[in-house]
Structure 1
Amino acid sequence: MKQKLIFFIAIAICFSSCENKEKNQSVILKGSIQNSNDSVLIFYYSDKSDTVFLSGKNDFRFVLDLKMPVYGYFRINKKTINVFLSPGDSLELKADANRLEEITFSGIGADENKCLSQLSEERTKQEINYEEWFSLDEKQFVFKSDSAYKAQLIFLENLQHKFNNLNPFFTKTEKARIFYTYAESRIAYERSQVFSANSKQKLSPAFYSFQKEINLNDSTMVFIPEYQIFLKTYLDKKVYEQEKNYETMNDLIGAEFDIILSEIKQQQIKNYLLHSVFRDHLQFNGLEGAKDLLALYEKHTTNKKNKDEISSLVKKWQQLLPGNSAPEIALQDELGKIHSLKDFKGKYVFIDFWATWCYPCRREIPHLAKLHKEYSGKNIVFISISIDKQKEAWEQMLKIEKMPWLQLHTTPDAKLLQDYQIYSIPRFVLIDKEGKIVNAQAPAPSEKKLRDMLDMAL
């Protein structure tokens, strides 16, 4: 009987222990947000996101299952609220979207988030003025950067005294965030001196003393922005040190892949860098010549979500390959008249995506004007599509620039920009008489290659 009693007590303890362990992994994040323009609230953390609806009283409640501490954030009225959460936390926040600097935290985990809020405010005050710092000689720059680094560490230490028993992961990560901001500025300074026409200084060995503290394989930092920025800057530095002339962007990205695969051993960080580099490359440069890079990416990355995103990008670019039907366009001109691609069937169409605030775009206007004049009377229509957020700015610019070809307007968030994969401007597209893509990344009007392309087509 005694043995049975001991057995049942042991089972009860086991169940209790398992239950407590499960509870400790659950995190409650709740609160209220006044004056939000949105009815839903999305919390982003690690590579995940959770969504809830705001109640009629603007209340919300998330229940998250966490196995380790995480940093996350909300986007409210295009502003960001950063949050730190650890297994077992029950955090409540109250905020007014119009006065986010007055946010309050309470409950388990409140101290870390009060601390995080003050650290974020201090970082904003101490933000690096790169233009000023990079104009300094080595001694002056080192003094500036070391002083800023030490000041932020002291600020963090003072907060540790103010808030007792802060989560050790939190304090370790905050120190690392400060360090990698400092380390990134060192590498960026070195690069600025290499490219500066006025700089002839050779940096001393002491300048690189920070490198011994760098850890390229710290998986706990993989979702921390300061670490991510540092890794990308470090990658740029390593590519430059190879002292090679890359004929194409694909060659350059291939070199970055080689460095990642040789120096990064931790799979999560490898996944992040491969994805970040290749996604940016696809967005801005498309599929041309990227077949080998795609195969290399798929072979070495293990993150399914990342692979799915790349697969989606590839499909979108495939729709813009030569011979495919061009996505429809139906936009208003400055007089309010709607123009569609269908209106120009039987003619070639050259499209210029631009904005008034884009200097490289405006630099192309005289070349486009010359092109328009040269090909006047030929079987081609020239269209400029502004993506200015403020339509008034576009209308005012039309009065200044006097562009006698068709002018249309859309907005930066329009589906049209997704259809044509517009991630940067200026961007040029050539469409044939049947409304099919000739080149979704046509040469600029200032390039002779465009005239050769048009002469061949017309």
Structure 2
Amino acid sequence: MRKTKIKVHIFFQLLVLTAFWSCNSGERGEEREATVGPGQIVLVFEDSVTHQFFRQRKALFKYMDDNMLPVEISFNSDESSKDLIINTKRGSLDLVYRDNSQVEFTYYLQNGDSILILEKDKKPWFESVKKESSYYTYNLELLRNTELYVKSHSKAQDFYFLWNETKTFPFELDMNEDLRRNKEEAIQGFQKELYWIDSLGKEGLISEEVKAFYISKNRMEQKKLEAYDPESLDINTQTAINSFLEKDNSLLAPRVFLDEFSELIITNQTELDSKALLDSLIASGELSSNEKSLLFHYLQKEIPYLSFKEADEVLVRYGDKLANPAQLVLLNSSNKALQGVEPDIELMGLQKSSITFEEILRQKKGKYLYVDLRAAWCIPCIKAFPASLALNEAYKSKGVEVIFLSVDDNYKFWEEVANKYDIAIPEQSFVAMNKDESEYLKALDEALIPRYLIFDPEGKLIHPNAPRPDTEEIRDFLDSLIDP
């Protein structure tokens, strides 16, 4: 089951590269000396109670680092109770707050800022420690919702919430009219917000720089909203692309909003459409920062579904077009990490015979192995069994063998399912016995099943996300291996 977006566990690594935590004495933030060095932004929690509030809300902060890579900071560990020092060479950055109540705010921070983070009326509240500023400077979007909408969410956020609910859980009732109305209210809300932001600037409550940022973000959000079609429940990617590639987006690059807009476009395009778009942009000359963002998200989406050889070829073709070498390193990281992990899976076969996955690779040396990674409770996995069996039958005389590898907890249940669906094939059907301890399965993220792996005749993994067994793509790929 191909996911539109794979959750690659990279944010911790990015956090290590781009931020570090300083010691927190446990005193109130405003009573401590907030030392800000050159090229730094410091965020200080008021106290442990404030941190606990964020932790209970499953809150996170997100920003773009200087390599145009997203960094997420969650509050699920004791480390996150310490002050955060963000190192950046940029004059400013935007910090996005989200939590499980669907609340979202963007905070505009400037290099050298030292910010005290408080909890106020069940919402995050930012105050400058060292410089005088109005509350609007650091809490503009929260106060916008309070003053313009008298609620926790903006009109646009209401629309996106309804859109996502309708897409995820289709209602029996027709929701198109509600979506149309909410979209229109959101557009009217954006116009209302523009006047409000302008009035704050005229009254001297925000600086011209802060005003310019939020006005640019507002206008771009309007254009993004135009791409959402309440009738078809689809996103018009061409409309989105036209808005995204406009030349007047410099104040938003690199920002979280534009990065996520870029990701939205690529997520909702086919691979062929995205490739055609990027090839045409590359042919037109040097890529802009926004075009490079599209390229990065295209590669991030596609590379996990390529063989290692194909991924290397794609990165050679496009790597020098990315914003910086750090993006290339990140795109390479998951494949390189997986290639460096030993397949430490302990297995049990039929009649409770024990074997390791490494022993299977040695025994099957000389054959290509198509590993059907599945679980007995997984309905999509079960539906694909006939195709895997047909693939095994069609290619077994050509040096390809299908291995059924299950990640179940219950051996008896696995055995019953294997027998029921005719995949109880001696020396080809196994269940993992150490799925919680296996570093290899953790690296693979066995939660994303069904998943298909291909090993070469030497026992080396060559494809970490092979095409499904019922596709022409897998037969084309296997044929290219057998008869290159």
- For the aligned residue pairs, the C-alpha RMSD in angstroms reads 5.9
Task: Give the match for residue 365 of structure 1.
Answer: 385
Shift of 1:153: 4.1
Shift of 1:70: 0.9
Paired amino acid for 1:340: T
SS at match of 1:121: coil
Measured at CA, do residues 121 and 28 of structure 1 come closer, stay the same or move farther in structure 2, by a change above 3 Å?
Answer: same
Query: What residue ranges of structure 2 are gaps of 5+ in the alignment?
Result: 1-35, 146-151
* Structure 2 Cα separation of the partners of residues 219 and 412 of structure 1: 47
Who wins on radius of gyration, i.e. which is larger? 1
Task: Give the match for residue 71 of structure 1.
Answer: 94
Paired amino acid for 1:260: L
Shift of 1:276: 1.9
Paired amino acid for 2:246: N
Task: Give the match for residue 51 of structure 2.
Answer: 34
1:407 matched to 2:431: yes
Mapping for residues 384-395 of structure 1, pairs under 5 Å? 384-386=405-407
Given that residues 162 and 179 in structure 2 are in contact (C-alpha distance below 8 angstroms), is that contact kept between their aligned partners in structure 1? no
Measured at CA, do residues 152 and 380 of structure 1 come closer, stay the same or move farther in structure 2, by a change above 3 Å?
Answer: same
Alignment partner for residue 45 of structure 1, among 63, 86, 89?
Answer: 63
SS at match of 2:469: coil
1:125 matched to 2:158: yes
* Structure 1 Cα separation of the partners of residues 294 and 142 of structure 2: 28
Measured at CA, do residues 287 and 220 of structure 1 come closer, stay the same or move farther in structure 2, by a change above 3 Å?
Answer: farther
Shift of 1:312: 3.9
1:223 matched to 2:254: yes
Task: Give the match for residue 340 of structure 1.
Answer: 356
1:106 matched to 2:127: yes
Alignment partner for residue 268 of structure 1, among 282, 289, 294?
Answer: 289
Given that residues 219 and 269 in structure 1 are in contact (C-alpha distance below 8 angstroms), is that contact kept between their aligned partners in structure 2? no
Given that residues 74 and 82 in structure 1 are in contact (C-alpha distance below 8 angstroms), is that contact kept between their aligned partners in structure 2? yes
Shift of 1:427: 2.4
1:297 matched to 2:333: no
Paired amino acid for 2:187: Y
Given that residues 331 and 408 in structure 1 are in contact (C-alpha distance below 8 angstroms), is that contact kept between their aligned partners in structure 2? yes
Residues 328-362 of structure 1 deviation map (CA, whole Å, 9 limit, x = unaligned)? 13156699998521342313654223468976444
SS at match of 1:115: helix
Paired amino acid for 1:221: L
Given that residues 354 and 427 in structure 1 are in contact (C-alpha distance below 8 angstroms), is that contact kept between their aligned partners in structure 2? yes
TM-score (norm 2): 0.58
Residues 168-220 of structure 1 deviation map (CA, whole Å, 9 limit, x = unaligned)? 44444334434434423433439958999xxxxxxxxxxx8997897246232
Measured at CA, do residues 406 and 311 of structure 1 come closer, stay the same or move farther in structure 2, by a change above 3 Å?
Answer: closer
Alignment partner for residue 83 of structure 2, among 53, 56, 60?
Answer: 60
Mapping for residues 178-193 of structure 1, pairs under 5 Å? 178-189=218-229, 192=232
SS at match of 1:382: strand
Query: What residue ranges of structure 1 are gaps of 5+ in the alignment?
Result: 1-21, 197-207, 241-248, 321-325
SS at match of 2:318: helix
SS at match of 1:34: helix
Task: Give the match for residue 28 of structure 2.
Answer: none
Residues 98-128 of structure 1 deviation map (CA, whole Å, 9 limit, x = unaligned)? x994433333565344333465733543425
Number of aligned pairs?
399
* Structure 1 Cα separation of the partners of residues 74 and 116 of structure 2: 15
Task: Give the match for residue 20 of structure 2.
Answer: none
Given that residues 30 and 59 in structure 1 are in contact (C-alpha distance below 8 angstroms), is that contact kept between their aligned partners in structure 2? yes
Shift of 1:275: 1.9
Given that residues 184 and 233 in structure 1 are in contact (C-alpha distance below 8 angstroms), is that contact kept between their aligned partners in structure 2? no
SS at match of 2:227: helix
Given that residues 223 and 243 in structure 2 are in contact (C-alpha distance below 8 angstroms), is that contact kept between their aligned partners in structure 1? no
Measured at CA, do residues 294 and 142 of structure 1 come closer, stay the same or move farther in structure 2, by a change above 3 Å?
Answer: same
Task: Give the match for residue 8 of structure 1.
Answer: none
Larger relative contact order (CA 8 Å, sep ≥ 6): 2
TM-score (norm 1): 0.61
Given that residues 341 and 435 in structure 1 are in contact (C-alpha distance below 8 angstroms), is that contact kept between their aligned partners in structure 2? no
Shift of 1:295: 3.8
Point out the more displaced range, 431-440 or 146-155: 431-440
Alignment partner for residue 444 of structure 1, among 468, 480, 483?
Answer: 468
Given that residues 376 and 417 in structure 2 are in contact (C-alpha distance below 8 angstroms), is that contact kept between their aligned partners in structure 1? no
Give the % identical residues: 13
SS at match of 2:254: coil
